[in-house]
Each structure stands twice: as C-alpha cells, then as structure tokens.
Amino acid sequence: MVASSRTATAVHALAFLAQWQGGELRSSQAIAESLDSNPAFVRRVLGRLRERGLVVAVEGAAGGWRLAKPAEEITLRDVHAVADDGAVPLPVHAHPPNRNCVIGRHMLSLLESEFADAQRAMEERLAQTSIADLLGRVYRSERAEEAARGN
C-alpha cells in the first residue's frame, strides 16, 4: 500500500500550533522546520485544513497560521477526514466483477458494506483522541525524559 502520511503531517502541524494557546501565528517555515520538511509542502497540507475550518491562515508579512478552534475540539478523525480527503483504506474491486456469476453479482456491494464498517471502526478510534490530548502527552513524555535524565 502507498497511503499518504498527510494525516501525520497535519496532526504534527496542528499540535505544533497548539503550543501557543494565545493563537499567535506561526509561519509555514517554522512548521516545516519541526517536520524537517519544506514550507511549500506544509502550505499545501494546511491549505486543505484551512478550507475546512481547522486552521486560519493570515497572508502578508507577519502572517502565518493558527488553530481555528480549541485544540480540544479537533480530533484525529477530523484531521484525517480533511488531510487525506476521501481516503479509503480498503478499496473494493478496481472494476465491477462479472454479473454472470452469482458471486460477481453480489460481492461488490457486500464488500462495500463490510469495508465501510471496518473503516468506521478505525475512524471512531481516531475520534477518541484530540490534538490537545496529543500535546498533553508530548509534554508528559518530555517531563518523563527530563526526570529520567536526573534534572
């Protein structure tokens, strides 16, 4: 499979922005540095989140990005649905099967139903975690590592 890591990129960027609760703007350059990527790619990924109301972009000098709503209200399901738009983890037949066969007549719609259910289960798990949850766990991991190093 060649699935895209745009969801991972978007979640990372949103958590990065969530660090500034006041909603200060961060540039795509700054976000790209955290991702070890480049600003144009970040703008492309965040552009979709902007269209769907997850982030706000401000143009011009001193412009940049901020969350459009509290990090508690953005779940991984929201991000996945937007970043990897209609991504289907379990595609059905590439083209319709043979209708002269009883399996061919019915398997396509059965699989559509089964695979949609499975995808929904995945998305419901994603919906249980918010950007705020992840940021909290980032900070917790960081404190744990500092403590382990004896600071």
Which among DNA, its own copies, none contacts residue 23 (Cβ within 5 to 8 A by kind)?
A: none
Question: CA 129 → CA 11, 74, 80, 109, 145, distances in Å?
Answer: 11, 8, 12, 31, 23
Query: Rounded to an integer, what distance in angstroms lies between the CA atom of residue 50 and that of residue 76?
Result: 16
Count of CB atoms situated within 10 Å of the CB of 146: 10
Residues that contact its own copies, how many (by CB under 8 A): 62
Which among its own copies, DNA, none contacts residue 33 (Cβ within 5 to 8 A by kind)?
A: its own copies
Which among its own copies, DNA, none contacts residue 139 (Cβ within 5 to 8 A by kind)?
A: its own copies
Q: Between residues 1 and 62, which has the closer beta carbon with respect to its own copies?
A: 1
By CB under 8 A, name the one of 56, 68, 81, 107 that touches its own copies.
107
Q: Which spans of this chain sit near DNA (rule: CB under 7 A)?
A: 1-6, 9, 27-29, 37-41, 43-44, 46-47, 50, 57-65, 84, 94-95
When asked if residue 59 is in the footprint of its own copies (CB under 8 A), the reply is: no
Here the contacts of 50-59 (C-beta below 8 Å, separation 24 or greater) are 52/82, 54/14, 54/78, 54/79, 54/82, 55/14, 55/17, 58/25
